[in-house]
């Protein structure tokens, strides 16, 4: 498929439609190395990817539940169980992490976050090209320092997404994609 057409057809796969098999270790290695060509001011490589393997998902679910219960002590049991379920469901789960160098002389923090996001999109596109479905998910758990610490992140690191990956049980977008037909816009100074 033509590259432009491939990008234009990119879409997320909702987690409930992500099934086994997940990418193999060789495919995962390709995906992670695809991120290396993300645009990166001063070559800081301000990202890392942490795979949360299936044998760690119960622990991740516990972490999510503890985090929610600390933040919202009155959370009902079924919501806590739904929170746990988020950790268990995807065939592959990758924590996308921005590793920020504070006060860098050339590269403000926002640029480092943008590079980490670009790297994450590279990884996802590589997964899509290998035939897998993906979705980038966040929610308040991702921005919770308690969760980040539980995952072993240091103070200069930020969780920016939980990338769910698997084989797409349904290979079409679930919603009509919201694509605009954008005209070229010129600045009139």
Ligand X SMILES: Cc1cc2nc3c(=O)[nH]c(=O)nc-3n(C[C@H](O)[C@H](O)[C@H](O)COP(=O)(O)O)c2cc1C
168: helix, strand or coil: strand
Q: Please, is 160 exposed, middle or buried when counting C-beta atoms within 10 Å of its C-beta (0-12, 13-18, 19+)?
A: buried
> In Å, what is the CA distance from 180 to each residue of 106, 117, 174?
35, 22, 18
Q: Which of residues 61-80 bind ligand X (CB under 6 A)?
A: none
Q: What is the DSSP letter of 161?
A: E
Residue 11 CB, nearest distance to ligand X (Å)?
3
User: What string marks each residue from 95 to 124 as x (binds ligand X by CB under 6 A) or -?
Assistant: ------------------------------
Q: Which of residues 125-164 bind ligand X (CB under 6 A)?
A: 135-139, 161
Q: Which of residues 9-48 bind ligand X (CB under 6 A)?
A: 11-12
E strand segments, 10-140: 18-19, 47-51, 92-99, 133-137
Residue 74 CB, nearest distance to ligand X (Å)?
22
Say how many residues touch ligand X, by CB under 6 A: 10
Residue 136 CB, nearest distance to ligand X (Å)?
4
7 makes contact with ligand X (CB under 6 A): no
64, 141 Cβ separation under 8 angstroms: yes
Residue 134 CB, nearest distance to ligand X (Å)?
8
Residue 15 CB, nearest distance to ligand X (Å)?
9
11, 177 Cβ separation under 8 angstroms: yes
- Could you tell me which of 185, 138, 153 has the C-alpha nearest to residue 49? 153
Give me the residues that bind ligand X (CB under 6 A), please: 11-12, 135-139, 161, 173, 177
């Amino acid at each position: 498929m033509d590259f432009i057409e491939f990008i234009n057809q990119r879409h997320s796969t909702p987690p409930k439609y992500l099934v086994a098999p997940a990418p193999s270790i060789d495919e995962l290695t390709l995906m992670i190395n695809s991120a290396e060509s993300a645009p990166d001011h001063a070559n800081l490589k301000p990202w890392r990817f942490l795979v949360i393997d299936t044998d760690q998902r119960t622990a991740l679910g516990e972490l999510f539940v503890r985090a929610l219960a600390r933040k919202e002590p009155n959370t009902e049991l079924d919501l806590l169980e739904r929170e746990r379920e988020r950790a268990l469901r995807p065939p592959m789960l990758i924590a996308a992490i921005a590793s920020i160098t504070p006060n860098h002389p050339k590269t403000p923090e926002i640029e480092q976050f943008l590079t980490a996001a670009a790297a994450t999109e590279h990884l996802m596109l590589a997964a899509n090209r290998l035939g897998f479905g993906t979705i980038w998910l966040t929610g308040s758990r991702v921005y919770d320092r308690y969760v980040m610490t539980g995952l072993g992140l240091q103070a200069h690191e930020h969780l920016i997404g939980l990338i769910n990956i698997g084989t797409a049980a349904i290979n079409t977008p679930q919603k009509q994609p919201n694509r605009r037909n954008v005209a070229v816009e010129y600045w009139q100074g």
